[in-house]
Amino acid sequence: MNALASAATPRPAASAAPAATGNGADQEFSFSQADFERVRALIYQRAGISLHAGKQAMVYSRLSRRLRETGHRSFGSYLQWLDTHSGPGGEQEWQEFINCLTTNLTAFFREDHHFHALADDLKARGVANPRIWCSAASTGEEPYSIAMTVVETLGASTGARIVASDIDTKVLATASRGVYPADARGLSPERLRRHCQRGTGANAGFMRIRPELTKLIEFRTHNLMAAQWSLGEPFDIVFCRNVMIYFDAATQKRVLERIHAVMKPKGLLYVGHSENFSDSRELFRLRGKTIYERV
pLDDT in tens, 22-66: 444 568 999 999 999 999 999 999 999 999 999 999 999 999 999
Q: Does the pLDDT of residue 104 top 80, yes or no?
A: yes
Q: How far is CA 147 from the centre of its chain?
A: 17
CA-nearest of 202, 201, 180 to 191 is 180
Q: What is the pLDDT of residue 26?
A: 66
Q: Mean per-residue pLDDT for 81-107?
A: 90
Percent of the chain at pLDDT > 70 equals 91
- In angstroms, the CA 292 to CA 192 distance is 30
Residues classed as catalytic = 62, 166
Q: Does the pLDDT of residue 254 top 80, yes or no?
A: yes
Q: 39: buried, middle or exposed (CB in 10 Å: 19+, 13-18, 0-12)?
A: buried
- In angstroms, the CA 59 to CA 63 distance is 6
Q: Mean per-residue pLDDT for 144-153?
A: 98
Average pLDDT along the chain: 90
- In angstroms, the CA 295 to CA 293 distance is 6
